[in-house]
Structure 1
Amino acid sequence: MNKNLIRRTAIVAAAGAASLVLAACGSSDDTSAGQSTPSAVSSAPAAQGQHNAADVAFAKGMIPHHRQAVEMADLAPTRAESAEAKKLADEIKKAQDPEIQTLSGWLTSWGEQVPAEGAMDHSAHGMAGMMTAEEMDKLKDSSGKAFDTAFMEMMIRHHEGAVAMAKTEKADGAFPDAQTMADAIIISQTAEITRMNSLLGKN
């Protein structure tokens, strides 16, 4: 009985404090900024946890996509000839490894399954920009200038696929952090595509 009374008193006190804060906001000035404060505050927690099927598809698709880019980048230190190709591969790995961890964390928190390491599910085979097993073998078997050219040509296609997936997330997703990551992918990978085209003499 006492516990209920204490809880009720705390709720009433909290509500009173909240109304005082809101009253203070409203009385300081009557501008639209003052009036919008309560709704902005109340909607923030809901927005942070809100996600939809497009967000899940983005995370589930981008994880194997990023893993393949990292696998390709891992070949560069021992096979690439140019310093530019090695530097690019290092930057790709440093950007995409942490994103894999973040995407996996989101899926876990949403109660979704993280794609298994090394397992390409059926949907991944037709995914935008993904290399086939034959293309990956060809890349592994090349070295020197031939590797540099093949690596950059494949990575351009790979990046174009990631940018397309990120644009779909921007259009259809709801999770704010996923939208932010999609923005970052579009900006960084579009810049890298330009850079690789330039190194290949295509600009």
Structure 2
Amino acid sequence: MRAIAATPALLMAALLVAGCAAGAPGADISADSTPAPDISAGPSTGIGSTASATGATGAFSATDTAWLQLTAAMAQRLLPVLDLVPTHTTDPAWRRLAAQMRTGSSANLERSRRLLAGAGAPTTNPHEGHDMPGMITADGLAALRSANGTAFHRLLAAHLRAHLAQSVRVAAAEQQGGVHPGTAAMATAVVRSGNADLARLDQLDRPPAPGRRPA
């Protein structure tokens, strides 16, 4: 498993696509489908460098706030997925991974909310109803609820991988384009934990050895 590389404009691309801006659930929201402002220019140019509020530890930029809002929304979408694991598989390794990720996601949700409060950002979720990249859809969650055993593991792995990969990508973009120290520190932690969880997932989600049938 290789660490996910950062794409400088990916964060704002994910947030400013037409589907999210228009509030149209189910729209095409691929991060590569819509041009985005360059947030890699540094503190003097670009959307990501415009200070929107000042907290106790420094100024928040629009990129900081956007990333925190997206991170909170992604955590809210992931938690119901992780809550299914104890009742849909008896495999202890999958249960451990889900428990670890649930602890981390809950912590990220609370930390995002605290930082957003410090930025004076709205407490409502601006991505409510938007199927952003890395978020499980209602249909995907329904499919998970109806699956068990190997079929559940296969679906779960796909959703967790999509979530973790997107989380690491946008956190890496926040590292490059954000300005608030506390938010940058959180992004660094998300990249580190996300890559570690991807490595654990790769160990669990391995194809069966040649000549062996899946259990």
| Both structures adopt the same fold (TM-score exceeding 0.5) | yes
The one-letter amino acid of 2:146's match is: D
Structure with the largest fraction of strand: 2
Matched, 1:185 2:190: yes
What TM-score do the two structures reach when normalised by structure 2? 0.66
What residue in structure 1 maps to residue 162 of structure 2?
A: 157
Q: Of 67, 70, 81, which aligns to 2:76?
A: 67
Shift of 1:88: 0.5
Structure with more contact order per residue of length (Cα contacts < 8 Å, sep ≥ 6) = 2
Counting only pairs closer than 5 Å after superposition, residues 22-171 of structure 1 correspond to structure 2 as: 48-116=57-125, 120-121=127-128, 124-125=130-131, 127-171=132-176
Say whether the 8 Å CA contact 2:55–2:118 is kept in structure 1.
no
Q: 1-side partners of 2:150 and 2:92: how far apart?
A: 11
What residue in structure 1 maps to residue 202 of structure 2?
A: 197
Q: Of 144, 156, 175, which aligns to 2:180?
A: 175
Q: 1-side partners of 2:194 and 2:120: how far apart?
A: 29
Shift of 1:131: 1.5
| 1:100-147 deviation per Cα after TM superposition (whole angstroms, max 9, x unaligned) | 11111111222211234xx8536x42x221122111111111112211
Shift of 1:82: 1.2
Q: 2-side partners of 1:85 and 1:57: how far apart?
A: 32
Unaligned runs of 5+ in 1: 1-44
Q: 2-side partners of 1:183 and 1:106: how far apart?
A: 15
Stretches of 4+ aligned residues off by more than 6 angstroms: none
Shift of 1:46: 8.4
Aligned residues: 155
What TM-score do the two structures reach when normalised by structure 1? 0.70
Percent of aligned positions that are identical: 23
Question: Taking structure 1 as reference, are residues 81 and 46 closer, same or farther at Cα in structure 2, changes over 3 Å only?
Answer: closer
Q: 2-side partners of 1:67 and 1:177: how far apart?
A: 21
What root-mean-square deviation, in Å, do the aligned CA atoms of Structure 1 and Structure 2 show?
2.2
Unaligned runs of 5+ in 2: 1-53, 208-215
Tell me the secondary structure at the aligned position of residue 174 of structure 2: helix
Shift of 1:198: 2.0
Say whether the 8 Å CA contact 1:81–1:148 is kept in structure 2.
no
The one-letter amino acid of 1:91's match is: Q
